[in-house]
A and B are shown apart, each in its own frame.
Chain A
Amino acid sequence: MTTTLTSHRSRPPAQPSTLKAKRLPAYASPAIAVAALLVAAALVLGTGVGGPVLVVVVGALLYLAGLFAAATRVEGRRSARDRAWSALIHSAFVLAVLPLASVVWTLVSKGVERLDGNFFGTSMNNIGARDPQGGAYHAIVGTLQQVGIATLITVPLGILCAIYIVEYGRGRFAFTIRFFVDVMTGIPSIVSGLFILAFWVLIVSPVFNDGRPGFSGFAAALALAVLMLPTVVRSTEEMLRLVPAPLREGAYALGVAKWKTILRVVLPTALPGIVTGVMLAVARAAGETAPVLLVAGGGAAINFNPFENNQSSLALYVYQQAGDASKYAPARAWTAALTLVALVLILTIAAKLLARRNRLSR
């Protein structure tokens, strides 16, 4: 014991380099990578089991193993583990960026093909399989009307529901509502479509419609409203909770009634956040295909009346054109997809920028 102590003490004062643990030299990592790739190429191409993709995959695995081994020798086990995880996390990132970048690239490169005035000015009425024209005007009209009606339904209902949860609700009942709002966020869009199909299209609307099921844009709006409601409630609720209590207390102290405090003080303060939430919900609803497919009917002609006859929507149009046998259909599908993504992204970006300027949530 004493000997080791003295030996420690008798060591010369440590230079800065010995304070740090031994590190792999900076060139080690690229060197291992090159070696791994070469070995992988020799292995894969030599045995002929695969192409360049397999070389990269095997090379990555070999690199990981080689790096781990080298780091274990030089730097110790803990550091080696750190390096291995770091490499894994970086490669996860690369792995995920590849398909997502491919989606974006395909969308843009294939989408510009039909990006012309004709596409935005005409419908699919009287467009046969051999006609290269045809557009999405009717679908854009449908999307805007359906999402607009859904927003008109959802916003008052959602905000009132959030007000109940935050301002009035007490005890078990409010907790139950809050819990089921959360559960409702997880309802699949197709189920909401089936619900409106069973409730509105097959049971209620035949009453006004001579007993025939009434597929319409309004039915699609109802289905979208079911999907938007929980999103609006949740975001409004979060914003209302962020309103500082002194604001409310000040209003109460001046003798303002509670309902007036909520309408005049709490809601205006939370408004930017609420708008953000609503825009995100609208963006999500605009991209939904399944409910519209089930209840809107999806016509080819322009229909400005959402309460009567079939309507289409952009998302449904993409789906229909993708399944169409015409050789001009894929181009139309991709251009419509690009339009849809542009619409959704503009809404989302605007919402996020608004959220960034919001004083409450920062």
Chain B
Amino acid sequence: MGETPQRSAHAGTGGNPVTEGHERPAGASARVAEAPLRTRTPDENGMGGGGALPRAKAFGAERAFRALALAAGTAVLVIIAAIAVFLIAKAVPALRANTENFWTYEGWSPNDSQPKFGIGTLAFGTVLTAALALLVAVPVALGIALYLSHYAPRRVGTTLGFLIDLLAAVPSVVFGLWGRDVFVNPVRDFSAWLNEYFGWIPLFGGDGPFGRSIMLGSLVLAIMVLPIITSLSREVFLQTPTMNEEAALALGATRWEMLRTAVLPYGKPGIIAAVMLGLGRALGETIALAMTLGITFGISFNLIQNGGNTIAANIANAFGEANANGRGALIASGLVLFAITLIVNITARAIIYRRREFTESAA
């Protein structure tokens, strides 16, 4: 199943060097990047061609280019480290000035002379909306992906797949605008209906007003991550070896049994990757939630009453009137968001890297 080219570690590198100059023959190329190569000494980057080649210059174009590439590669690590360092540098003074507990206080007034702000409610709202969005989006997205890859006629599947890819590129502010102006009406009606008949469940309790609620926010979020999860998992489903599918069918499996025994197990790492990427996107989504949630501070599981807030939405909403300390407080909350998404991403990538079948397609 692994698509990664597997070459033996010594195929390209030559077990026993014949001469000094031949130690690394031409074309020991990047595809054997995983192969444990011996660390090279500076004078053996000859490209084959015999021992008569001139020795590598100490400061040639080759070394300069190599150093440039190395610097660019290191820049990624530097940027990630710099994000953490600068956020911490700006967050610490605000956290020092905070007169309440940063983790538990329910409220956000960092601009006062006695700054009071807490991350608890925001972190709770972030996790709750993202989890609800995925709960809705993942089954539907997998359904669409299966439909496009295995049920729809080929031409329909390709066309619709292309459209879904396009929808994944639609900016979040557009979804936010749509959620605020259009989608809020059916959600408000639905909330009122839920409240009337299922009000005894605390999730749907309360007595209004309804509409700009956690439900609206997470549904908009679900609609936003839907195309991403769909297009990634559709790609994985299409990569299932035809032989596996045909073998299942030849053994008398129905179409669903074929999907369950051949397609889904093959695509599992890909599905995990797609879901994790969707989760990352949902956790960090800012503008759509800032436009759809009715910003409140307080931990509540009520899904349909106006309210709800997330770290990112709070940053977008509170930034306008923030003073120096307010900015520091927002940066502190961003640091928490950064930590959450970093953990989610590193976990996801670790899962994917362990199952190397899928390393190439999770863009």
Bound complex: CA of A252 vs CA of B50, how far in Å? 12
Q: Output the nearest chain A residue to B35 by Cβ-Cβ distance.
A: A170
Is B83 within 8 A of A191, CB to CB?
yes
Bound complex: CA of A259 vs CA of B67, how far in Å? 11
Q: State which of A7-15, A59-67, A76-84 sits at the interface with chain B.
A: A76-84
Which residues does chain A contribute within 8 Å of B287, judged by CB atoms?
A: 289-290, 293, 315, 319
A99-B183, A189-B286, A202-B327 known; A248 and B27 CB under 8 Å?
A: yes
A interface: dominant SS: helix
Q: Which residues of B contact A (CB under 8 A)?
A: 26-27, 29-31, 33, 36-37, 39, 45, 47-49, 53, 61-62, 64-66, 68-77, 79-80, 82-83, 86-87, 89-90, 139-144, 146-148, 151, 162, 165-167, 169-178, 180-183, 193, 197, 223, 226-227, 230, 254-257, 259, 277, 280-281, 283-287, 290-291, 312, 315-316, 319, 327, 330-331, 334, 337-338, 341-342, 344-346, 348-349, 353, 360, 362-363
Is A93 within 8 A of B47, CB to CB?
no
Cross-chain pairs A/B with CB under 8 angstroms, 23 sampled: A89-B143, A100-B223, A156-B72, A157-B75, A161-B75, A161-B76, A167-B30, A169-B33, A177-B74, A185-B277, A188-B285, A188-B341, A190-B284, A191-B83, A191-B87, A194-B315, A195-B86, A195-B87, A198-B331, A293-B287, A294-B319, A333-B177, A352-B162
A290-B287, A315-B171 known; A184 and B360 CB under 8 Å?
A: no
Which residues does chain B contribute within 8 Å of A156, judged by CB atoms?
A: 72
Bound complex: CA of A288 vs CA of B284, how far in Å? 12
Which residues does chain B contribute within 8 Å of A161, judged by CB atoms?
A: 69, 72-73, 75-76
Is B65 within 8 A of A259, CB to CB?
yes
Which residues does chain A contribute within 8 Å of B90, judged by CB atoms?
A: 197-198, 202-203
Is B26 within 8 A of A253, CB to CB?
yes
Q: What distance in Å separates the Cβ of A140 from its nearest Cβ neighbour in chain B?
A: 14
A103-B174, A203-B86 known; A160 and B37 CB under 8 Å?
A: no
Q: Output the nearest chain A residue to B252 by Cβ-Cβ distance.
A: A78
Bound complex: CA of A257 vs CA of B36, how far in Å? 23
A106-B181, A177-B74, A191-B334 known; A290 and B27 CB under 8 Å?
A: no
Which residues does chain A contribute within 8 Å of B341, judged by CB atoms?
A: 186-188, 191
Bound complex: CA of A201 vs CA of B271, how far in Å? 39
Which residues does chain B contribute within 8 Å of A263, judged by CB atoms?
A: 65
Is B256 within 8 A of A86, CB to CB?
yes
Total interface residues on A, using CB and 8 Å?
112
Is B331 within 8 A of A249, CB to CB?
no
Is B27 within 8 A of A252, CB to CB?
yes
Not counting A194-B315, A203-B89, A318-B177, a sample of 20 additional A-B residue pairs whose C-beta atoms are within 8 angstroms of each other reads A96-B140, A96-B141, A161-B72, A163-B69, A166-B30, A185-B345, A187-B338, A188-B280, A191-B337, A199-B82, A233-B76, A234-B363, A258-B45, A290-B312, A318-B174, A319-B291, A322-B177, A340-B173, A345-B170, A352-B165
Which residues does chain A contribute within 8 Å of B74, judged by CB atoms?
A: 177
Which residues does chain B contribute within 8 Å of A102, judged by CB atoms?
A: 178, 182-183
Q: Which 9 A-B pairs have the closest CB atoms?
A: A188-B284, A287-B171, A92-B143, A249-B27, A160-B72, A252-B26, A164-B73, A259-B65, A186-B345
Bound complex: CA of A345 vs CA of B180, how far in Å? 22
Bound complex: CA of A318 vs CA of B178, how far in Å? 11
Bound complex: CA of A190 vs CA of B319, how far in Å? 11
A246 at the interface (CB under 8 A from B): yes
A186-B345, A253-B48 known; A344 and B169 CB under 8 Å?
A: yes
How many pairs, one residue from A and one from B, have CB atoms within 8 Å of each other in the complex? 311
Is A190 within 8 A of B345, CB to CB?
no
A106-B182, A188-B337 known; A344 and B170 CB under 8 Å?
A: yes
Which residues does chain B contribute within 8 Å of A107, judged by CB atoms?
A: 174, 178
A161-B73, A188-B341, A289-B287 known; A195 and B33 CB under 8 Å?
A: no
Of the residues B141, B177, B338, contact of A334 by C-beta under 8 Å: B177
A88 at the interface (CB under 8 A from B): yes
Q: State which of A35-43, A237-245, A302-310 sits at the interface with chain B.
A: A237-245
A99-B183, A160-B72, A238-B363 known; A186 and B169 CB under 8 Å?
A: no
Q: What distance in Å separates the Cβ of A231 from its nearest Cβ neighbour in chain B?
A: 7
Which residues does chain B contribute within 8 Å of A170, judged by CB atoms?
A: 33, 37, 39
Q: What distance in Å separates the Cβ of A260 from its nearest Cβ neighbour in chain B?
A: 8
Bound complex: CA of A174 vs CA of B80, how far in Å? 15
Q: What distance in Å separates the Cβ of A33 from its nearest Cβ neighbour in chain B?
A: 18
Residue in A88, A166, A194 whose Cβ sees the most chain B Cβ within 10 Å: A194
Is A160 within 8 A of B66, CB to CB?
no
Q: What distance in Å separates the Cβ of A170 from its nearest Cβ neighbour in chain B?
A: 6
Is A289 within 8 A of B140, CB to CB?
no
Of the residues A88, A188, A248, contact of B29 by C-beta under 8 Å: A248
Bound complex: CA of A233 vs CA of B74, how far in Å? 13
Is B171 within 8 A of A341, CB to CB?
yes
Bound complex: CA of A203 vs CA of B353, how far in Å? 37
Is A287 within 8 A of B169, CB to CB?
yes
Which residues does chain B contribute within 8 Å of A240, judged by CB atoms?
A: 30
Is B256 within 8 A of A81, CB to CB?
yes
Which residues does chain B contribute within 8 Å of A158, judged by CB atoms?
A: 72
Which residues does chain B contribute within 8 Å of A186, judged by CB atoms?
A: 277, 280-281, 284, 341-342, 344-345, 348
